C-alpha cells in the first residue's frame, strides 16, 4: 500500500512534492482537492499535469475506510456510520447528530480502547488500533459528503481516548483547521478526554503555539462522571494514575493558557453520583475556572458492567425524570451552568458510551 495522502499536513505535502522533483506550489493546489473538495482519485485533480498525477500515484494512495453501513435512528435524525479500516479487520463508528438546524459529527480516534471505563461499550472491546490522522479525517469527509455541507460542530468523542492517540489527533486537528484545506473554525471543535496528567498541559501549550494559530480555540471536555475520587477510580480505572486534584490543576492551567472554557461531561447515575455531597463538590469545582456541566443520561450498553455499576446492567435502565430535573435545579440554584444532553441515537446504539464498532441489526 502507498502512503495515505490524507495523513499529510500541507507542510509535509510540500516537502514530498519537492522530493518528487516538483515545485512547492503544487502542494497548495493538491491539498484543497483532497481535504476540501473530497476528491478520491488522482486522475480527477484539477490543474495538475498528468505527469504529476502519475508521480503522486507512485508514492501515495487516497485511502478511505470502507463505509459498511449507515443506520438511521427511528426516534430522531441521528445516523451512525460503520467503517472498516483497510488492511485490518477493525471497524469504527462515527455519528451524525442533526437537531435544531445543527449538524454535529462525532468522530472516533481509536478502534477500541484500553481505558476500560465501566459504562462504555468501546472500553469493553479492548484496544485494537490507533487511527491515523487521515483515518480520523476520512470519517469527517465522508459524513460531510452525506450532508452536503460542513458540520456546525465536530466532537472528538467517538470510539477511543483522543489523548491516548495524541500525535495523530493533533495532526488531524492541524489539517482540519488549515484554511487552505477544509478550513473548519477551531471554535467548532471539542476534544473530550478522561484526563491524563501532563497531556492536558501539553494540549494547552500545543493550542497556543505559534505554529498552531488556527487551532487556538479548540475546546476541551473532561469526562468527569464523579467528583468522588474513590467512585471515579472504580468507573474510570485509569483515573487511579491520573488523580482528580492533579487533573483539576491542569484544567486550571488549560483555562489560564488558552482562555477557553472547560466542559465537564457527567453521566447521571441515579442514586450513585447525585447526592448532596456531589452537588457541593460540583458547585465548588465550576467556580475554580469558567466551566459548565453537560449532564448525560446513562445509556444502556449490552456488555456486563462491574461494581459499582452492575445494578444498571442488562436492562433498559429507565431514568427518573423527576430526580434528574431535581439534580439540575439544585445545581442551577448554586449558580452552576448545567445543560441536559439528550439521548440522540439511543435506539441505534449511537448515544454516548454505546459505540462498539459492529453491526447491531
Residue 253: is it exposed, middle or buried by C-beta count within 10 angstroms (0-12/13-18/19+)? middle
Contact mark string toward ligand SF4, 216..245, x via CB under 6 A = -------x----------------------
Going by the DSSP 8-state scheme, the letter that residue 43 receives in this structure is: G
* Least distance to ligand SF4, CB of residue 71, Å: 20
Nearest-5° Cα angle at 214, 224 to 291: 25
Altogether, the residues listed in the chain come to a count of 361
194 interacts with ligand SF4 by CB under 6 A: yes
Phi and psi for 91 in degrees, rounded to 5?
A: -125, 150
Residues 272 and 291: their CA atoms lie apart, in Å, by 23
Separation in Å, CA 351 to CA 56, 161, 248, 257: 40, 16, 27, 32
120 interacts with ligand SF4 by CB under 6 A: yes
* Least distance to ligand SF4, CB of residue 120, Å: 3
Going by the DSSP 8-state scheme, the letter that residue 64 receives in this structure is: P
Of 107 and 120, nearer to ligand SF4 (C-beta) is 120
Q: CB neighbours of 350 closer than 8 A, spacing ≥ 6?
A: 71, 73, 78, 79, 80, 93, 95, 344
Of 14 and 161, nearer to ligand SF4 (C-beta) is 161
- Give me the catalytic one of 93, 118, 135, 265: 93
115 interacts with ligand SF4 by CB under 6 A: yes
What is the full DSSP assignment across 62-100?
--PPEEEEEEE-SSSS-EEEEEE-TTSS-EEEEEEEEET
Residue 20 near residue 145, CB atoms below 8 Å:
no
Q: Residue from 48, 56, 105, 117 that binds ligand SF4 (CB under 6 A)?
A: 117
SS3 197: coil
* Least distance to ligand SF4, CB of residue 70, Å: 22
Classify strands 153-156 and 262-268 as parallel, antiparallel or unpaired.
Answer: unpaired
Q: Residue from 7, 14, 22, 161 that binds ligand SF4 (CB under 6 A)?
A: 161
Q: Choose the stretch contacting ligand SF4; rule: CB under 6 A; options: 63-71, 154-162, 207-215, 297-305.
A: 154-162
Half-sphere exposure of 48 (CA within 13 A, CB side): 27
Residue ranges of alpha helices (H) inside 43-102 are 50-59
Q: Choose the stretch contacting ligand SF4; rule: CB under 6 A; options: 27-35, 77-85, 109-117, 318-326.
A: 109-117
Q: Residue from 4, 122, 130, 132 that binds ligand SF4 (CB under 6 A)?
A: 122
Contact mark string toward ligand SF4, 279..318, x via CB under 6 A = ----------------------------------------
* Least distance to ligand SF4, CB of residue 240, Å: 14
Of 142 and 223, nearer to ligand SF4 (C-beta) is 223
* Least distance to ligand SF4, CB of residue 345, Å: 16
Q: Is 352 a catalytic residue?
A: yes
Query: Which of the residues are catalytic?
Result: 93, 352
Binding site for ligand SF4 (CB under 6 A): 113, 115-117, 120, 122-123, 159-161, 194, 223
Amino acid at each position: 500500500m502507498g502512503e495515505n495522502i490524507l495523513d499529510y499536513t500541507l507542510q509535509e505535502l510540500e516537502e514530498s512534492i519537492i522530493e518528487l522533483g516538483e515545485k512547492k506550489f503544487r502542494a497548495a493546489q493538491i491539498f484543497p482537492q483532497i481535504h476540501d473538495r473530497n476528491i478520491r482519485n488522482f486522475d480527477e485533480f484539477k490543474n495538475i499535469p498528468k505527469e504529476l498525477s502519475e508521480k503522486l500515484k507512485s508514492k501515495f494512495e487516497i485511502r478511505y475506510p470502507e463505509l459498511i453501513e449507515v443506520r438511521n435512528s427511528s426516534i430522531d435524525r441521528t445516523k451512525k456510520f460503520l467503517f472498516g479500516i483497510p488492511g485490518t479487520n477493525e471497524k469504527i463508528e462515527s455519528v451524525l447528530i442533526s437537531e435544531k438546524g445543527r449538524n454535529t459529527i462525532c468522530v472516533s480516534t481509536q478502534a477500541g480502547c484500553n481505558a476500560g471505563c465501566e459504562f462504555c461499550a468501546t472500553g469493553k472491546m479492548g484496544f485494537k488500533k490507533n487511527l491515523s490522522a487521515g483515518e480520523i479525517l476520512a470519517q469527517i469527509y465522508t459524513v460531510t459528503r452525506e450532508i452536503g455541507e460542513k458540520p456546525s460542530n465536530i466532537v472528538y468523542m467517538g470510539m477511543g481516548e483522543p489523548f491516548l492517540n495524541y500525535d495523530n489527533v493533533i495532526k488531524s486537528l492541524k489539517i482540519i483547521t488549515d484554511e487552505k484545506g477544509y478550513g473548519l473554525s477551531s471554535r467548532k471543535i471539542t476534544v473530550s478526554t478522561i484526563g491524563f496528567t501532563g497531556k492536558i498541559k501539553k494540549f494547552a501549550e500545543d493550542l497556543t503555539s505559534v505554529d498552531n494559530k488556527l487551532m487556538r480555540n479548540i475546546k476541551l471536555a473532561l469526562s468527569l462522571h464523579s467528583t468522588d475520587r474513590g467512585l471515579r477510580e472504580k468507573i474510570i480505572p485509569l483515573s487511579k494514575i491520573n488523580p482528580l486534584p492533579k487533573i483539576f490543576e491542569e484544567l486550571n492551567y488549560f483555562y489560564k493558557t488558552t482562555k477557553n472554557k472547560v466542559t465537564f461531561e457527567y453521566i447521571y447515575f441515579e442514586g450513585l453520583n447525585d447526592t448532596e455531597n456531589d452537588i457541593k463538590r460540583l458547585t465548588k469545582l465550576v467556580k475554580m475556572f469558567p466551566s459548565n456541566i453537560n449532564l448525560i443520561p446513562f445509556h444502556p450498553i449490552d456488555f456486563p458492567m462491574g461494581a459499582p455499576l452492575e445494578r444498571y446492567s442488562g436492562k433498559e435502565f429507565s431514568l427518573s425524570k423527576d430526580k434528574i430535573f431535581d439534580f439540575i435545579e439544585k445545581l442551577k440554584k448554586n449558580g452552576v451552568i448545567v445543560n441536559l444532553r439528550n439521548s440522540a441515537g439511543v435506539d441505534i446504539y449511537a448515544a454516548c458510551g454505546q459505540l462498539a464498532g459492529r453491526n447491531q441489526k
